[in-house]
Structure 1
């Protein structure tokens, strides 16, 4: 039984992951702005309805760990925001918001959680194929894709900084998954994988991937591009 923190659990992949880990007997801290009733009702899930860009929210996470778990085994950075808009039309506030959610929130949560992680722990960051150098890029995703590239580099650097402590950092760069967020950005597009299918992969990788990988970016995409 492991202690697992998952962000972005209100819907989609994060929601499926929280239930999957909890139903397998693990302790889950589900972090998102909105909390689905199904997560509240699960005895193995503790829920925090917070904004990761808020200092108060991060304090709540720290207090929970100190008072309830004392240690954290796995962190899955799944929370994300997307913006489909021509670069020339994106405001400074909009660009900053995407980075607050996709980059600064990841860094801030790592800063809070890492003191409670021990050798053998695993930090998994969910990125995108659009953030991987050399892959096909799509117009209108300058803020989103560049932010997803930033967390890739951040994870690679942290893997080096925490290598001697035995804490692994890996990134899963996902292709298209048929989530509500994807549908909001690209109405009518049908991705080849469902949130549940992708959560099955992430579930196993989070528990075992650090045995084989550290500081790596794995491209998890069933389509080309």
Structure 2
């Protein structure tokens, strides 16, 4: 049984992941602004915490829970994301900041807060996007989102190096098209070949075993891009 922290659990991949870990006997701290969807499931292994991860003060709730209840964290999955789909000249500085707050700054902050609770063998998995991969196909309107997803790739590579002696692994999964609400926001009407549950199955297994084979790596999990 492992202690798993997952962000962005109110819908999509994060919602499915929280349930899968819980159903397999793991303890889950599910973090999202909207905690009601998982609270409604009322699984004994899931603690749903309402947290705005873009607010560093709000993130203290996570630290307080782990200190009081678990004392250690085996897996952190940085899954939460924010997307703005606008032509570049219409994206304001505030839009950029809001996207980076969730997709980059919050990833750094929550990882930093969890460092004292990681042990040898802990695994940090950050969910990025094929849009953040250098040389991949890019799409108009996603300047803030895709550049943020590129930033967390570099951040994870750096952290893997910084914490390799403690044997804490940091890996990134760069996802292609998955049928989620966020995909609909980016590509209205597009039907992805992979469901949120199918991708959650993949991330579930990778989170538990991927650190045996990878550290500081970016895996492109993509059968198609729109």
Q: Quick check: TM above 0.5?
A: yes
Give the distance between the partners of 2:38 and 2:134, measured in 1 at CA: 38
- Partner of residue 16, structure 1: 16
Structure 2 gaps, min length 5: none
Corresponding residue SS for 2:173: strand
Q: CA deviation at 1:224?
A: 5.5
Give the distance between the partners of 1:224 and 1:112, measured in 2 at CA: 34
Q: CA deviation at 1:55?
A: 2.5
Matched-pair contact (CA < 8 Å) for 1:124–1:170 = yes
- Partner of residue 126, structure 1: 127
Give the distance between the partners of 2:7 and 2:199, measured in 1 at CA: 16
Give the distance between the partners of 1:210 and 1:113, measured in 2 at CA: 17
- Partner of residue 206, structure 1: 207
Give the distance between the partners of 1:65 and 1:24, measured in 2 at CA: 20
- Partner of residue 2, structure 2: 2
Give the distance between the partners of 1:102 and 1:199, measured in 2 at CA: 19
Q: How many residues align?
A: 225
Give the distance between the partners of 2:126 and 2:159, measured in 1 at CA: 12
**Residues 127-154 of structure 1: CA distance to partner in whole angstroms, max 9, x if unpaired?**
0000001111111111000000000000
Corresponding residue SS for 1:72: coil
- Partner of residue 142, structure 1: 143
When the two chains are superposed, the root-mean-square deviation of aligned CA atoms in Å is: 1.0
Q: CA deviation at 1:36?
A: 3.3
Corresponding residue SS for 2:58: helix
Normalising by structure 1, we get a TM-score of: 0.98
Normalising by structure 2, we get a TM-score of: 0.97
